[in-house]
Amino acid sequence: MEGKRSKVRMCCLCNQSRASLNRPKTLQQICRDCFYLSFENEIHQLIIDNHLFTPGDRVAIGASGGKDSTVLAYVLSKLNRVHNYGLNLFLLSVDEGITGYRDDSLETVHRNQVQFGLPLKVVSYKDLYGWTMDEIVKLIGLKNNCTFCGVFRRQALDRGAAFLKADKLVTGHNADDIAETVLLNILRGDIARLSRCSSIITGEDGPIPRCKPFKYTYEKEIVMYAYFKRLDYFSTECIYSPNAYRGFAREFIKDLERIRPRAILDIIKSGENFRISTNTKMPEQGTCERCGYISSQKWCKACVLLDGLNRGLPKLGIGRSRPGIGCKEENESRGVKSIESKQCGSLDF
C-alpha cells in the first residue's frame, strides 16, 4: 500500500456516510447511525418477540456501573420512550462494601441516574446480611471470598427488586456471557444449569423473573456503542479477584470469535437446542427454612454461609472436604487461570 491510506468505505446500508465499524454479527460495514439503529432495533424486536414486558411493569435494571449495565440502562430507557413500552424503569445497584472498588463504580451509577433520568436504589450487603465484603475478607482471607460474594449478590438483586416491588429484573448479560456459560456448564457437568442458561427469561417460578435483553448482543458491539455514544462506564477488575487472569473459556471464545464471529450465536443456539434426558435427576425446588428464599436444600446457600460467618466458622458451606477440591481456590489466590472469567459467580443466572 503506497501513498494515501486505502479508500474510505461507505456504509453498506445507507451508502451515505462513511463506514465506522465491521459488525461481527453480520459482517456488515456500517456507519454509526445505521449501527445505532440496527443495535437498538434488534433489541426492540427481541423484547417484542419474547413478550418480555407488559405495560405498567416496574422493571429493575441490575446496574453495576460497568459497560453492559450502563448501555442496557441507556438503551432500555430510550426504547421505552420511543416505543412506548409504558415501563417504570429504575436502577438497582448492589454495594458489596468493597472500599475503593465499589465506591467508584457506584459513583458511576449515580452519574447514570442523573444522565439517564432513572431513579436509583442501592442495596448493601451490610443491610441485607450484616457483613461487608471487606469484613468478610478480613475474617476469611482471599480464599473463597468470591464464593460469598457471588451467593450474596444474586440474592441481593432479588431481594432489592422484591423490596422495590419490581415485576421484572433485567441484567446486562450479553451473548459472549451466555456462550461462555453454556460452555462452562458442559465443562463442569452442570446439566441443571445447562438446561436453563440459554433462556432469555429465567426464574419465572421464583421471586422475580429475570430477563436478558442482550442475549444476542455481542460484547464488542456493546463496547462500540458505549464508545461512540460516549457513555460513562466503569471498568476495573474487582480488587479481590486474582490478578491477570481471564478464564480459559472466555479466552477460547475470543479466539473462536476471531476465526468465526457467528460461533458465539451458534453456541447459544446449541444451548437452546439441547434436549435433556428425562431420566436425569434434577434437583427439586423448595424454600429455605431460615429466610424463605428459593433453595433445593433445607437452608439456602446464603444462610449457610452467614451462619458460618456469624459463628466464627467461615469454612462452613465452602466446597467439600475432599483432597483436590481446595486446590481450585489455591490456584485462584495465586493468580493461576481458572476456567471461568468471572469468579464472583455473576455468570450464574
Partner 1 sequence: MQLTLEFGGGLELLCDSKKIHNVNVEQQNGEDKLTMKGLLSWVKTNLIKERPEMFMKGDTVRPGVLVLVNDCDWELSGQLSTLLEEKDVVVFISTLHGG
Partner 2 sequence: MACNGAGGCQSGCYKDEEPTSDQPTASSETDSRSSSNLCIKCKLNDAISGYGGIDDGRFCADCFKSNLFGKFRFAVTSNAMISPTDKVLVAFSGGPSSRVALQFVHDMQERAHKNFEASRDRSLPVFGVGVVFIDETAVLPIPSHEMEEAVEVINLIVSSLSPPRKELHLVPIETVYSSDSTDGKERLIELMNAVSDPTGREDMLLCLRMLALQKVASEFGYNRIVLGSCISRIAAHVVSATVKGQGYSLPADIQYVDARWEIPVVLPLRDCFAQEINMFCWLDSLKTIKLSTGPSSSINSLVSSFVALLQEENPSRESTIVRTAGKLIPFHFNRIPEIVDGNVPLATRRRQKRYNLKSNESVSSESFCLLCNSPLDKSEIVDWSNHKNCKNSDTFYTSCCSSCQFQILPPDSTSMEKFYMHLPHSVVSRANQANNGNLKALREQIQDCLLSDGEEET
223 interface partner picked from partner 2, partner 1, none, CB below 5 to 8 A per type = partner 1
**Cell 459472549 found at:** 176
Was 94 annotated as part of a binding site? Answer: yes
- The answer to whether residues 215 and 268 touch, using CB atoms and an 8 Å cutoff, is yes
**Cell 464472583 found at:** 344
Task: Provide DSSP, 161-204.
Answer: HHHTT-SEEE----HHHHHHHHHHHHHHT-HHHHHHTT-SEE-T
Site string for partner 2, 88-127 (x = CB under 8 A): ----------------------------------------
266 part of the interface to partner 2, by CB under 8 A: yes
Q: How far is the CB of 313 from partner 1 (least distance, A)?
A: 30
Among 304, 306, 309, 341, binds partner 2 (CB under 8 A): 304
Among 15, 45, 235, 285, binds partner 2 (CB under 8 A): 285
Q: Please report, as residue ranges, which positions from 128 to 187 form the binding site for partner 2 (by CB under 8 A).
A: 147, 150-151, 153-155, 182-183, 185-187
**CA separation for the pair 276, 11 (Å, rounded):** 44
Among 13, 46, 60, 64, binds partner 1 (CB under 8 A): 64
335 part of the interface to partner 1, by CB under 8 A: no
Nearer to partner 1 by Cβ, of 150 and 308: the residue is 150
Task: Provide DSSP, 100-162.
Answer: TTHHHHHHHHHHHHHHHT--EEEEEHHHHHS--HHHHHHHHTTSSHHHHHHHHHHHHHHHHHH
**CA separation for the pair 199, 196 (Å, rounded):** 6
Q: How far is the CB of 165 from partner 2 (least distance, A)?
A: 22
**CA separation for the pair 152, 128 (Å, rounded):** 9
**CA separation for the pair 183, 189 (Å, rounded):** 10
Was 68 annotated as part of a binding site? Answer: yes
Among 256, 261, 326, 333, binds partner 2 (CB under 8 A): 256
255 part of the interface to partner 2, by CB under 8 A: yes
Was 62 annotated as part of a binding site? Answer: yes
**CA separation for the pair 85, 79 (Å, rounded):** 8
Q: Residue 53 gets which letter from DSSP?
A: -
Specify the stretch interacting with partner 2 by CB under 8 A; choose among 25-33, 51-59, 221-229, 341-349: 341-349
Q: Which residues bind partner 1 (CB under 8 A)?
A: 1, 5-6, 9, 18-22, 29, 64, 66-71, 172, 176, 219-220, 222-224, 227-228, 233, 235-238, 243-244, 246, 250-251, 254-255, 257-258, 341-342, 344, 346
Binding residues for ATP: 62-64, 68, 94, 172, 177
